[in-house]
Amino acid sequence: MLIASIKTEILTAVKAACQSQFGQQPEALKLGYPPEVELGDFTVECFPLAKQFRQNPAQIAQAIASEIEPSGSIQSVRAVGPYLNVKIHNHVLFGDVCNEIVGQGECLGSTDIGQGQRVMVEYLSPNTNKPLHLGHIRNGVLGMGVSKLLEATGHTVVKANLVNDRGVHICKSMLAWLKWGDGGTPETTGTKGDHFVGDWYVRYAQEEERQPDLEQETQAMLRKWESDDPETLELWKMMNEWVYGGFAETYQKLGLEFDAFYYESQTYNLGKDLIQTGLDKGAFIVAEDGAVIAKLPIDEFGTQRDGSQKVETLLRGDGTSVYVTQDLGTAKMKFDEHQLDRSIYVVGSEQNYHFQCLFKLLDMLGFEWAPECYHLSYGMVNLPEGRMKSREGTVIDADDLIEEMFQLAADEIRERDSESELSDEEIQKRAFAIGMAAIKFYLLRVRPELTINFDPKESISFDGFTGPYCQYAYARCASILRRAETEDLASVEPDFSLLGNEEELQLIRALIQFPEVVEEAARDLSPARICNHLFTVAQTVNQFYHKHPVLAAESPSLVKARLALINASAAVIKKSLSLLGIETLEEM
RNA sequence: GCGCCCGUAGCUCAGCUGGAUAGAGCACCUGACUUCUAAUCAGGUGGUCGCAGGUUCGAACCCUGCCGGGCGUGCCA
């Protein structure tokens, strides 16, 4: 009996009882869980029925409960006030459920609700003049997380990275390198490529303070770039390659994957023809200075300071494109190239307004897929002293942070390895997995829209509501399962009727809820939901094995039953971690 | 001014989209390693769910209005 079938069985029984007691089918039934596990394994609320059957909910519950005879999976149905609490037979509740969970393997928690849906998740989208920072890590793990959630629910996901590889800021590092770089390269200086280029960007900023006319040289270089000057293009390509090399390393460490790369140098001219279409349709208008603009509806965008209608510029007076121009074109290209059903943009909340405009403009252009574009907005990552500011050097560099987490984890491991039994290689492997788990979980555990106040102490913590805590719970399960293999239990059949204490009930309940949690997380594009549920499972399994011996249980058939529970718990923890992009360790 | 987001324990957050007595973690006390790894577990302290109305049998959750904070607000990305 599958989890889904148990639910259906309960609902079917309730419906049949309503039919015979009240002569009609219930309009709406909601299956939930009682607040205390002792009350039952599932519950059906009778409030909605009260309206339909014109009786008080407690009486309805009574009537239905008396109508349902235990059968199949259902052991008992009891009315408690307005609730119908259902108990499921142990061999189904524990036996069948654990079997199902363990048997599903990689597919655990997967559904097909998104079958046939193609969705693009664009995330990270860095500039090529600076290395990645903490904000990019939040973006990256979030983008990767929602991609995995969508995949788990049957969607076909195209993970895209729109690289901002052109513009003044890129020219600045190019110019600085040309002037003062002395032919150095990442290789000759032993510097990671993105940092190498970023250093020249910083150097530019310093020099510019002393000689403000550098700005003109930058503009001249940008013009050369735009007119396809071969030397400038060559320099540009070379420096961008250095950056990509550096980025690739960081992506790899963070486990970020992409199926498609878009480059703004190739997309920045897209969209101009769409502007013409908009003009032809009368959706856009030409302003006095020749710029193409769109008027934004007041009910959605509010007004300007003076109370007049808001306006968005789509094309400058000189015919050059702006940010939205490019994005309009790219949006269309994405749908055309990949036959998308949905297009998700993982971009920080400071761009909320931009995407509100972009989507409205797509709608004004008449694209039927415009409503399928979605800005997955996430809050900023602030430091204890406020916003990260590159000018003040308070930006937390991604590679530095990764290295720091790795070192901290390694220290912890060595401290616990008092006998020095672990090889250096093993320590490194574990330290990396644990360090990454800490930072990823820390950034994913709150809802995307919330601003994170980056607390260095808390972010490196390995206790409590953290990634390492969850990894540890898994490692403990794995340890018990390993030991079980050395015992002679092969011929013993588990007796699930022996289970049923509070910790066991709480654990199985959490496991049963896993598929719904995945579905909700995917629906809300919120890996935080996975974090919360995962932590509950980890906490519950910790409580369980602390209080109840598994291998030393009273009888072999109880040992087998508890092992099944541990096995299923480990599977759920592993899958949850994997949905968050976090590795599991068999030993910690 | 206008738009969007946020406001729940000292701090950081959950709260299954309206249901059973508001839950965790951190911090602070007190206990538990001869027993499947103490990155663990048990117990304690701690809340007018920003404020005021409204809808409902029932509101932290929905509506309205305030207050406080954040991000934005036509030719940057």
Chunked into runs of 10 residues, chain A (588 residues) has average pLDDT values of 94 94 88 94 93 89 94 95 96 97 93 94 95 96 98 97 93 95 95 96 91 90 93 96 97 98 92 94 93 93 90 93 94 97 97 96 96 96 87 90 95 90 95 97 96 89 96 97 92 95 96 96 96 97 96 95 97 98 96
In angstroms, the first-to-last Cα distance of chain A is 35
User: Using the 8-state DSSP alphabet, how is residue A99 labeled?
Assistant: H
Q: Residue A88: its pLDDT value, please?
A: 97
Domains of chain A: 2-88 (3.30.1360.70), 118-387 (3.40.50.620), 398-579 (1.10.730.10)
Closest-approach nucleotide to residue A417, Cα vs C1': B37
Q: Residue A392: its pLDDT value, please?
A: 82
Answer whether any strand B atom is within 7 A of the Cβ of A165.
no
List strand B contacts in A 394-423 (CB < 7 A).
409, 412-413, 416
β A292-296/A310-315 pair status = antiparallel
What Å value separates CA A495 and C1' B12?
Answer: 43
For residue A559, the tally of other CB atoms under 10 A from its CB is 22
> In this structure, what token pair is assigned to residue A259?
């199926």
Q: Residue A54: its pLDDT value, please?
A: 84
Q: Residue A478: its pLDDT value, please?
A: 97
Q: Quote the CA–CA distance of A42 and A193 in Å, as a whole number.
A: 56
Answer whether any strand B atom is within 7 A of the Cβ of A47.
yes
What Å value separates CA A384 and C1' B63?
Answer: 37
Q: Quote the CA–CA distance of A553 and A481 in Å, as a whole number.
A: 14
What Å value separates CA A587 and C1' B72?
Answer: 48
In Å, what is the CA distance from A366 to each residue of A276, A283, A286?
13, 9, 19
Q: Residue A30: its pLDDT value, please?
A: 87
User: Using the 8-state DSSP alphabet, how is residue A91 labeled?
Assistant: I
What Å value separates CA A305 and C1' B72?
Answer: 13
Closest CA to A539 of A564, A509, A559, A518: A509
Q: C-alpha A319: how far from its chain's center? A: 39
Q: Residue A385: its pLDDT value, please?
A: 84
List strand B contacts in A 521-560 (CB < 7 A).
524, 528-529, 532, 535, 539, 542-543, 545-552
**CA atoms A379, A383, A386, A388: torsion sign:** negative
By CB atoms closer than 10 A (0-12, 13-18, 19+), residue A102 is middle
Q: Residue A51: its pLDDT value, please?
A: 83
Residues 6+ apart with CB under 8 A from A220: none
Most distant CA pair in chain A, distance: 89
Q: Which residue is nearest to nucleotide B24 (CA to C1')?
A: A465
ipTM of the complex: 0.96
Q: Does an H or E element contain A13, and which?
A: helix A3-22
β A285-286/A292-296 pair status = antiparallel
pTM for the whole structure:
0.96
> What dihedral do alpha carbons A222, A228, A229, A235 form, nearest 10°?
70
Q: Residue A78: its pLDDT value, please?
A: 95
